[in-house]
Amino acid sequence: MVCPHCHKDIVEGSKFCYNCGTPLTAGATAPAPAPKRLMRSSQDKKLGGVCAGVADYFDLDPTIVRVIWLLAVLFGGTGLLLYVVLWIVLPLAPSMPTVIVPSATPQV
């Protein structure tokens, strides 16, 4: 069963999602989410968005991925080559649309 709010897999017949706490109705399931794609992040990027994209794909903290990548660059050198290749190959994730809230006061 998939939570309609956070799209995480949960136990069939649960009354609440144990990930986000959303109350669930009996027998209602949301359609399966689209499969994740490995893409560069357009929101949380320091250089090219590769580390944040990899972290998002594997549900990890981007800081952990950045530290591991830095260690790979410092101790093996292959991390830099892999980063450049992924920067070129991976598509950029679409940016989130900006929501404009109209003001409550009328303008004259």
Domain boundaries, the chain: 32-93
**CA–CA gap between residue 53 and residue 45 (Å, rounded):** 8
Q: Model confidence at 96, in pLDDT bands (50, 70, 90)?
A: low
Q: What is the mean pLDDT of the chain?
A: 81
Burial code of 14-28, b = ≥16 C-beta within 10 A, e = fewer? Answer: eeebeeeeeebeeee
Local confidence band at 94 (pLDDT 50, 70, 90 cut-offs): confident
Question: Whole-angstrom Cα distance, residue 58 to residue 36?
Answer: 9
* AA letter at 23: P
CB-CB contact of 66 with 51 (8 Å): yes
**Average pLDDT in the 52-65 region?**
92
pLDDT tens for each residue of 10-35: 777 777 777 787 787 765 555 666 78
Could you tell me the pTM of the whole model? Answer: 0.57
Rounded CA gap, 52 and 33, in Å?
21
Average pLDDT over residues 56-69: 92
